[in-house]
Structure 1
Amino acid sequence: MVKVVTDQDFKQETDTGVTLTDFWATWCGPCKMQSPVIESLENSRSDVKFTKMDVDQNQGTPSEFGIMAIPTLVIKKDGAVVEKLVGYQTKDQLNAVLDKYTKA
């Protein structure tokens, strides 16, 4: 299960290794399509930590990262944002992006 993070624990949960955070909301149709893709990736990749944040319940972190549309996926490596993807992404698209940061 993808770990749910909040404004309070986001930094701590995403400051080491490669992490992907799905910024979403319950009312967002494309977010509902993105969620199973993230779940599937989590089951197939042990080299990336997957988290998600509800933007309606947590407004500080999305504001800090300038998130204006959802779904937005933020990829961090060792605490630094290395990629921000806006809109629905396929599993193949995400695997290709994640490979850039996990392959030596």
Structure 2
Amino acid sequence: MATKTLTAANFGEVTENNDIVLVDFWATWCPPCRTFAPVFEKASEKHSDIVFGKVDTEAEPYLAEQFGIRSIPTVMVVRDGVIVYEQPGAMPEPMLESLIKQVRDLDMDEVRKQVAAQGSQSS
């Protein structure tokens, strides 16, 4: 599966209606983003069951602001509608593959319990 362009109009629908979504926040003027792009694209072709989305932070400043993106590239992973990973920096292929494996292996019932516990502590 090739990468999908994510916008403010489709971001919620894509991340809520797919089991795993990897998101690359990037910009055309960013050299590390251009270096990371082929790694992200290759992973998208290898893992056809995962949605690989790209957010151009120049075209979608609202999304960048909404998620507090301060450095690009930033990779975010949403699983079952929950953000389970977000970190700036280009990744080499082995690191991205490791991240994908870790996300697949997550016990989402446990993750939801932790999210609920954090929510009740901040109330």
Tell which structure's C-alpha radius of gyration is larger: 2
Count of residue pairs brought into register by the alignment: 104
* Counterpart code for 1:86: P
Give the gaps of 5 or more residues in structure 2: 107-123
Match of 1:58 among 45, 48, 60: 60
* Identical aligned residues as a percent: 32
Match of 2:38 among 32, 36, 39: 36
Normalized per residue, the structure richer in strand is: 1
| TM-score, normalization by structure 1 | 0.94
Distance in 2 (CA, whole Å) between partners of 1:74 and 1:80 is 10
Instruction: Report whether the alignment pairs 1:5 with 2:2.
Output: no
Q: State the 1:103 CA deviation.
A: 3.2
- The residue aligned with 1:100 is 102
Normalized per residue, the structure richer in helix is: 2
| TM-score, normalization by structure 2 | 0.80
1:64-96 CA-partner distances (Å, limit 9, x unpaired): 111100000110101111001211101110111
Q: Does 17-26 or 7-16 show the bigger shift?
A: 7-16
